[in-house]
Chain A
């Protein structure tokens, strides 16, 4: 009888723990929902012109980065993750694939 009572007590404790976790998760979900609404408002506030400017800037940076990597490769250095920066002997399939992908 004592053992059964102890087992039930343990189950009760576990349920209490789970309940606490659910409570804290609930608070966290509330916080995330609030933040999501806030971010959506901010996003709406950004004008199309601003969006276009940011996108253009990102494209320019990406193009420059690509050109720099191509220049580096053409000057005889690896740009692949395997040998990055090391002197190139001939050509490299992985650099070529990397530049082609970008």
Chain B
């Protein structure tokens, strides 16, 4: 293999695929990034066998071929190279990077050992605008579970039913739901996409691009620009999320989202390091105001926010993160909160927008 390209292009390729390189110790070959030069394209590939990312760059190719280089070392080298044109020449499993009048030789792996990332051939893929999908990911992904004991909760349920698209995430303590419309779509898809994959899509997707989704029973491929993200679907049944959404409430309030977010963030400063590590924020809703009186060994905060209130007063405790996470992604100035006492889930919605809903359970003191 012999190619010519700029250091900047090379860095883009490495940065794009590097997150698919497993961080835990697995097969040594998976610690590598595969470079494949063919048809005037230089392909970069990395996989942890669950998530695979590949992308290509248009380069000048003098000799086709492929090579696998250790990802960590290789990315460090590329980052530290001077900003100049590079000539990359492979010799057996090893690579020589020529820059200015210098040369860096890297020992690689046998490319034959690198797992083949199987294609998904779909004649009729789902096509949707990137900006829409990015927004949907942003509004839901934070509600996924980090704990891997129940894999279904570490992913987001993507349900495309003709023109309707839904994205749902829950860690059983809270749930985020968003829906939108893909005009003219006739296809259907339902599967649990790992949060890690969604994170990568969010990171790499440009708002102006068009996203294409190809799928089979166990895997999905997301294509945009010169990037392809392939992922295995999480197996298992996503629980019936509709049953947890309360159909009525005792109190409905309308609050300025930014003011409430700032107040909760200030109050959580006093509870962040308490011995329970619950980051609890306790507030009362009474006489058309949210009242926070929080104190700890470190200090005391008293704040009051004017709200519009319908229904009974109540006092409630939350993990502050459960409130701040959602207030950061709701786009409207005013936020609706629907509650039924101190122990039932509270629903957060943007004003005049039924497409988004978030609910969280309060802490039981």
Residue ranges of A at the interface with B (Cβ–Cβ < 8 Å):
82-83, 90-94, 96-98, 100-101
Contacts and interface: CB of A to CB of B under 8 A. Distances in A.
Contact of B173 (A82, A91, A97): A91
The 3 closest A-B pairs by CB, nearest first: A97-B244, A91-B361, A93-B244
A35 B344 CA distance: 48
Contacts of B345: 93, 96
Residue of A91, A98, A100, A101 contacting most chain B CB atoms (<10 Å): A91
B361 to A, nearest CB: 4
A96 B364 contact: no
13 contacts: A82-B172, A90-B173, A90-B319, A91-B173, A91-B362, A92-B173, A93-B170, A93-B345, A94-B172, A94-B244, A96-B345, A97-B243, A100-B344
A85 to B, nearest CB: 14
A90 B174 contact: no
B243 A92 contact: no
B344 A92 contact: no
A26 to B, nearest CB: 43
B175 interface: yes
Contacts of B239: 82, 94
A86 B172 CA distance: 13
Interface string B167-205: 000101111000000000000000000000000000000
A94 B239 CA distance: 9
A2 to B, nearest CB: 49
Q: Interface residue tally of chain B, by bracket?
A: 10 to 19
Contacts of B246: 100
Nearest to A97: B244
B289 interface: no
B95 interface: no
B243 A91 contact: no
Interface of B: 150, 170, 172-175, 239, 243-244, 246, 319, 344-345, 359, 361-364
A91 B173 CA distance: 6
A93 B363 contact: no
B173 A101 contact: no
B237 to A, nearest CB: 9
Contacts of A101: 243
Contacts of B363: 90-91
B243 A96 contact: no
Contacts of A90: 173, 319, 361, 363-364
A83 B173 CA distance: 13
Contacts of B244: 93-94, 96-97
B89 to A, nearest CB: 55
Contacts of B359: 93
Given A83-B150, A93-B173, 13 more contacts: A90-B173, A90-B361, A91-B173, A91-B363, A92-B173, A92-B361, A93-B170, A93-B172, A93-B174, A93-B175, A93-B345, A93-B361, A96-B345
A70 B246 CA distance: 18
Nearest to A74: B364
Nearest to A90: B173
